[in-house]
A = this chain, B = another copy of it.
Amino acid sequence: MSHLVECVPNFSEGRRMEVVDAIADAIRSQGGRVVDVQADPAHNRSVVTFVAEPEAAVDAVMAGARVACERIDLRRHQGEHPRMGAIDVVPFVPFADLPMGVCVDLAHRFGARLLGELGIPVYYYGEAARNPERRELERVRRGGFEDLREHILEPERQPDEGPAVLHPSAGATAVGARIPLIAYNVNLRTTDIGVAKEIARKVRASSGGMPNVKALGFDLQDRGLVQVSMNLTDYRVTNIWKVFDAIRREAERRGVEVAESEIVGTIPLDAAVRTVADAVLEPRLRMDQILEKRVWAAE
């Protein structure tokens, strides 16, 4: 089997489905195999997930970017989610055994073409960052389009690719390389939102909890539950089982039961295998022991 790369571009359009569809079609037309499209009207934002041969991936996402650049005008865009561009964020993610270096290279090639062909300045983040201060996407994107328009001339806000001038309607784009993120929630059988917020604080990395965990507490009012909502930014360090087990213990200490958990969207097979390995104390379990992996990966 040939190697594949996953690419998860985020576009600042989640209401006009004809635009989202046109973007996905353009990606498909250049060899991108679209596996998921999520359009969020509240955030007015959509996320396309596709895989492609590395040689085709840049052409595919460029085709999508060209449509987005023509049809999305950030000056008229409204939505809750922070964003700085019509093509807001473009991460390249290794699929299966693809080396990260290939993703970094693709990010830089795509960034150069975004500037050269569409005149959109680029900020590199994640493993593709050229400035260590820009590894975290949140720092690159803070303040969004309107803030960046005002401050782009300041030295620490200047793009990595292109002059300090935003594209008038399409803004700027964050282009990166990263391992797959896992969106994971644990729901607790209580209506006390304080419990969820407290446990979120206990487990998240930023307040000294578990590494590579972002966590917030939410109220699920209609269900009579509260939620610890997480992003696991490196499941190789902190996987689903570890965070579930830690939250369950914290909840038990407070006399609260875990109602259920939710794995949102897709996860890599490797993350599922590591979860099994940790849950049943089977540290030698390998992806190669999954029969489908042996058969499909060999095709």
Q: Is the CB of A240 within 8 A of B291?
A: no
Given A285-B263, A291-B269, A276 and B240 touching (CB < 8 A)? Answer: yes
Given A241-B279, A260-B281, A285-B263, A268 and B293 touching (CB < 8 A)? Answer: no
Q: Is the CB of A282 within 8 A of B299?
A: no
**Chain B residue with Cβ nearest A6:** B291
Q: A258-299 interface mask toward B, CB cutoff 8 Å, 1 = contact, 0 = none?
A: 111111011111001101100111111100011111111111
Q: A99-112 interface mask toward B, CB cutoff 8 Å, 1 = contact, 0 = none?
A: 00000000000000
**Number of A residues with CB within 8 Å of any CB on chain B:** 45
Q: Per a CB cutoff under 8 Å, which of B284, B290, B296 touches A272? A: B290
28 A-B pairs within 8 Å (CB atoms) are namely A1-B299, A6-B291, A33-B295, A33-B298, A35-B295, A35-B298, A51-B295, A95-B295, A244-B280, A261-B282, A262-B284, A263-B282, A263-B289, A266-B291, A266-B294, A268-B291, A269-B269, A269-B293, A275-B276, A275-B279, A275-B280, A276-B279, A279-B279, A279-B280, A292-B292, A292-B296, A292-B297, A299-B299
Which residues on A are within 8 Å of B, measured CB to CB? 1, 4, 6, 33, 35, 51, 95-96, 180, 240-241, 244, 258-263, 265-269, 272-273, 275-276, 279-285, 289-299
